[in-house]
Structure 1
Amino acid sequence: MRYLAAVAAMLVAGAAHAQSSVTLFGLIDTGVVYQNNARVSPSSGTSAGASAWSMQSGNVFTSRWGLRGTEDLGGGLSAVFWLENGFNVDNGGLKNGGDLFGRQAWVGLRSSEYGTLSLGRQYDFMVDYVAPLSATGSGFGGNLAAHVYDNDNLNNDLRLDNSVKFSSASYGGFKAGAMYAFSGEAGGFANNSAYSLGTSYTYGPFNVAAAYLQINRTSQPSLANASGAVSTGDGDQLTTGGSQQIYGAGAQYKFGKSSIGVVWTHSVTDNVTGIWQGGSTSTGAIGGSYIKFDNFEINGRYFVRPDFSLGAAYTYTTGGFGGASKGYTSATPHWNQIMAQADYLLSPRTDVYLEGVYQRVGGGNGNAAFDASVYSLDPSSGNQQVVVAVGLKHRF
Structure 2
Amino acid sequence: MTLYGAVDSFLQYSDNGGSTALRLQSGGASTSRWGLTGSEDLGGGAYAGFRLEGGINLMNGQQQSATSTFNRESNVWIGSERWGVLKFGKQYPAIPPEGADPFYAVGMLSPWASTVLAISDLGAGVTTVQARVDNAVSYHTPTFNGLSATVLYALRNEAGSSPVARNTGGLIDYARGPLELTVSYNAVWADAPPVSGAPATPSGPRTDLVMASALYQIGPVATSATYTLTRPTAPNTYVASVYSLGAVWSNGPHAIRAGAVYRNVSGREDSAIGALLGYDYQFSKLTGLYARVGAFRNQGQSAISFGSDPLSTPGVNPFVVAVGIRKKF
The C-alpha deviation readout for 1:314-341, integer Å capped at 9, x for no partner, is 11110147xxxxxxxxx43100001100
Instruction: Find the residue that maps to 1:348 and give its secondary structure.
Output: coil
1:194 paired residue number: 167
How far is 1:79 from its partner?
A: 1.2
Q: Structure 1: how far apart are the matches of 2:285 and 2:191? A: 47
On the 8 A contact 2:115/2:242 being kept in 1, the answer is no
Q: Structure 2: how far apart are the matches of 1:36 and 1:92? A: 27
The answer on 1:81 being equivalent to 2:50 is yes
The answer on 1:383 being equivalent to 2:316 is yes
Alignment of 1:150-189 (within 5 A): 150-151=116-117, 158-189=131-162
Instruction: Find the residue that maps to 2:151 and give its secondary structure.
Output: strand
2:7 paired residue number: 28
On the 8 A contact 2:78/2:86 being kept in 1, the answer is yes
2:109 paired residue number: 144
How far is 1:151 from its partner?
A: 2.1
The answer on 1:118 being equivalent to 2:87 is yes
The C-alpha deviation readout for 1:31-80, integer Å capped at 9, x for no partner, is 10011128xxxxxxxxxx52000101001211111001101111111111
Residues 221/146 of structure 1: CA separation in 2 closer, same or farther (3 Å cut): farther
The answer on 1:60 being equivalent to 2:29 is yes
How far is 1:185 from its partner?
A: 2.0
1:108 aligned to which of 77, 82, 101: 77
Alignment of 1:210-225 (within 5 A): 210-217=183-190, 219-222=192-195
Instruction: Find the residue that maps to 2:238 and give its secondary structure.
Output: strand
Instruction: Find the residue that maps to 1:132 and give its secondary structure.
Output: helix
Tell me the amino acid that sits aligned with residue 377 of structure 1: D
Tell me the amino acid that sits aligned with residue 306 of structure 1: G
Please report the RMSD computed on the Cα atoms of aligned residues, expressed in angstroms: 2.5
On the 8 A contact 1:151/1:293 being kept in 2, the answer is no
Q: Which runs of 5+ in 1 are unaligned?
A: 1-21, 39-48, 231-240, 272-287, 322-330, 365-369
Instruction: Find the residue that maps to 2:62 and give its secondary structure.
Output: coil
1:132 aligned to which of 80, 85, 99: 99
On the 8 A contact 2:253/2:283 being kept in 1, the answer is yes
Q: Which runs of 5+ in 2 are unaligned?
A: 120-127
Tell me the amino acid that sits aligned with residue 196 of structure 1: G
Tell me the amino acid that sits aligned with residue 24 of structure 1: L
Instruction: Find the residue that maps to 2:163 and give its secondary structure.
Output: coil
On the 8 A contact 1:308/1:344 being kept in 2, the answer is yes
Residues 217/54 of structure 1: CA separation in 2 closer, same or farther (3 Å cut): closer
Q: Structure 2: how far apart are the matches of 1:87 and 1:201? A: 34
The answer on 1:260 being equivalent to 2:218 is no
On the 8 A contact 1:149/1:375 being kept in 2, the answer is no
Q: Structure 2: how far apart are the matches of 1:66 and 1:163? A: 19
Tell me the amino acid that sits aligned with residue 50 of structure 1: S
Residues 157/165 of structure 1: CA separation in 2 closer, same or farther (3 Å cut): closer
On the 8 A contact 2:129/2:167 being kept in 1, the answer is no
2:303 paired residue number: 371
Tell me the amino acid that sits aligned with residue 91 of structure 2: Q
The C-alpha deviation readout for 1:105-136, integer Å capped at 9, x for no partner, is 0011021212210100111111xx34422234
1:205 paired residue number: 178
Alignment of 1:286-297 (within 5 A): 289-297=236-244
1:314 paired residue number: 260
TM-score normalised by the chain length of structure 1: 0.73
The C-alpha deviation readout for 1:191-220, integer Å capped at 9, x for no partner, is 562111001111111111111111123544
Residues 192/121 of structure 1: CA separation in 2 closer, same or farther (3 Å cut): same
Q: Structure 2: how far apart are the matches of 1:61 and 1:113? A: 33
Residues 179/157 of structure 1: CA separation in 2 closer, same or farther (3 Å cut): closer
Residues 63/156 of structure 1: CA separation in 2 closer, same or farther (3 Å cut): farther
Q: Structure 2: how far apart are the matches of 1:137 and 1:293? A: 22
Q: Name the one with the larger helix percent.
A: 1
Q: Name the one with the larger strand percent.
A: 2
Q: Structure 1: how far apart are the matches of 2:292 and 2:312? A: 18
Aligned sequence identity (%): 27
Q: Structure 2: how far apart are the matches of 1:250 and 1:108? A: 27
Q: Structure 2: how far apart are the matches of 1:33 and 1:376? A: 8
Tell me the amino acid that sits aligned with residue 204 of structure 1: G
Instruction: Find the residue that maps to 2:10 and give its secondary structure.
Output: strand
Q: Structure 1: how far apart are the matches of 2:180 and 2:231? A: 26
How far is 1:138 from its partner?
A: 4.8
On the 8 A contact 2:305/2:318 being kept in 1, the answer is yes
Greater gyration radius? 1
Q: Structure 2: how far apart are the matches of 1:392 and 1:339? A: 18
Residues 181/119 of structure 1: CA separation in 2 closer, same or farther (3 Å cut): same
Tell me the amino acid that sits aligned with residue 141 of structure 2: S
The answer on 1:394 being equivalent to 2:327 is yes
Q: Which has the higher contact order (CA 8 A, sep 6+)?
A: 2
Residues 98/87 of structure 1: CA separation in 2 closer, same or farther (3 Å cut): farther
Q: Structure 2: how far apart are the matches of 1:168 and 1:136? A: 28
TM-score normalised by the chain length of structure 2: 0.88
Residues 34/98 of structure 1: CA separation in 2 closer, same or farther (3 Å cut): farther
Q: Structure 2: how far apart are the matches of 1:319 and 1:289? A: 13
